[in-house]
Structure 1
Amino acid sequence: MKRMGMNEMNRKAVEIMKYWDPFAIGSESYGQEIGNVITQLQVLDHPSELAKTIQTSYEYSFGKWIPLEQCVDISYKLIALKFEAKHII
Structure 2
Amino acid sequence: MRKEVQTNLKLVDLLTEWNPFQLDNESYETEIADCIQAVHMYEHPLTLAKKIQSIYEFSFEKIIPLESCMEIAVELLKVMEDQDSCSI
How far off its partner does 1:5 sit?
1.3
Tell me how large the CA RMSD over aligned residues is: 1.4
Moved over 3 A (4+): none
Aligned to 2:12: 14
Please state whether the residue corresponding to 1:87 is helix, strand or coil: helix
Aligned to 2:84: 86
Please state whether the residue corresponding to 2:20 is helix, strand or coil: coil
Which is helix-richer, 1 or 2? 2
Normalising by structure 2, we get a TM-score of 0.93
Normalising by structure 1, we get a TM-score of 0.92
Aligned to 1:74: 72
Q: Percent identity?
A: 36
Q: 1:57 aligns with which of 55, 67, 76?
A: 55
Equivalent pairs, count: 86
Greater RCO, CA 8 A, separation 6+: 1
Distance 2:86 2:23 in 1: 36
